[in-house]
A and B are shown apart, each in its own frame.
Chain A
């Protein structure tokens, strides 16, 4: 069967898998954003905690994804749970690192001015430091998303949802009529989803960056 007629026949199934894929990525990145940004704010200005947090989350990133999925199975079982947990764990490092870098890049004079204006700690964080750091933070979230989209394809090995199922289905039926079509659809689907999310972040970047620091 040609790839075109394969697509014509299976597009609905493929779209469902794309949606599943995007969904686990979105959930994982949302969790990682809350943890990463929160942790980044918490360790800001504390060099030791800063270093520990980066070392710990960076170590997670070094662990092979299949091994991390494997380590999570005894804890949370098979399927969506280990998928979301592993992806969130991977996504924390880039978000945390960029949050720290972003907060450090806020000019000291601006931070001083905010203190001089009598703003409380929380208000300084929410109205001055985070908005100024945001372009760097959202770049971290974008990098994390793109990375996690590719890793999510491996989730099918632990019965997780998403486009990885097509890839593993193709592998299991090597030599069959649709083995190559399945695999191609899975691989191209993941790559296109990554590109689409990259574009989405370009839009989000414009929409969420404070008007004064937009270029």
Chain B
């Protein structure tokens, strides 16, 4: 899963995200922009053709139909959307708070805690919550939130810490209040790094949500699990391919949003 390495690439002080990587600039050209959706559509069509060419038995038909697939997809998207929104709502203000004078002293503690938290496997966190707090949608959301909080928190902090001191001083010198400097100087400059962190959290959530099936919260993992348990390659492939396509599509959309939301001039 695209988890830990996306969140901790480079040295400890490096922000998460793939845009620092040479070669991830493929989105810059029109051809590069269209490559991913064309490829993903082709994969979906191939899957559709493969399923159409097979004579599905009763068991397979119970999983491979528009209703079940649609429901799994919606469950998956709900898990991802809700947990990502909660992560942003918690991590961005917390990250801002932890870079202000005063609470700033606590920042290393939070970062160290978050780094250790990374060593905990996502499935372990899900199961731990399931065993202690019961199974279901909300428990899965909690696990997803806890697991994907780190990249957003860390990137918010690093993005703000990287803002040139002289720019902040200039803002203060112009007579802006601390709050005005935060909203008009620091945050706009930090946004690219923060967006990269949110993108990583999104991908982590799409990946971890496939495991939500183990705690009865549905999602595309349901198809994969059914395929393994019932030993039906068709169901297994449908779930796996759709989950992979979904993750890549979300990553592509997030990359696009990252470019569009970036303040001009940066």
Contacts and interface: CB of A to CB of B under 8 A. Distances in A.
Given A154-B211, A171-B130, A70 B227 contact: yes
Interface stretch (B82-90, B149-157, B235-243): B235-243
Contacts of B127: 167-168, 170-171, 183, 186-187
A66 B121 contact: no
B109 interface: no
A174 B214 CA distance: 12
A53 B251 CA distance: 18
Given A54-B24, A74-B233, A93-B5, A67 B124 contact: no
B244 A171 contact: no
Contact of A73 (B1, B130, B236): B236
Interface stretch (B93-101, B166-174, B179-187, B202-210): B202-210
Given A73-B236, A170-B131, A186-B124, A67 B251 contact: no
- Secondary structure dominating the interface of A: helix
B174 to A, nearest CB: 39
B4 A146 contact: yes
A19 interface: no
Contact of B228 (A52, A62, A70, A143): A70
Contacts of A64: 1, 206-210, 243-244, 247
Interface string A58-70: 1101111111101
A88 interface: no
Interface stretch (B15-23, B64-72, B188-196): B15-23
A149 B124 CA distance: 12
A41 interface: no
Interface stretch (A7-15, A116-124, A189-197, A203-211): A189-197
Contacts, number: 175
A128 interface: no
A33 B246 CA distance: 29
Contact of B128 (A51, A73, A74, A187): A187
A31 interface: no
Interface residues of A, number: 55
5 A-B pairs closest in CB distance: A70-B240, A153-B121, A187-B124, A51-B23, A65-B1
25 contacts: A51-B26, A55-B23, A66-B221, A67-B241, A67-B243, A68-B240, A71-B241, A78-B228, A90-B5, A97-B9, A139-B11, A150-B122, A153-B121, A154-B211, A157-B214, A167-B121, A167-B127, A170-B131, A171-B127, A171-B130, A183-B128, A186-B124, A187-B125, A187-B128, A195-B119
Given A100-B22, A164-B123, A184-B128, 7 more contacts: A55-B26, A61-B2, A66-B240, A74-B233, A74-B237, A157-B228, A183-B127
Interface of A: 50-55, 58-59, 61-68, 70-71, 73-74, 78, 90, 93-94, 97, 100, 139, 143-144, 146-147, 149-154, 157-158, 164, 167-168, 170-171, 174, 179-180, 183-184, 186-187, 190-191, 194-195
Interface of B: 1-6, 8-9, 11, 18, 21-24, 26, 116, 118-125, 127-128, 130-132, 135, 203, 206-211, 214-215, 220-221, 224-225, 227-228, 233, 236-237, 239-241, 243-244, 247-248, 251
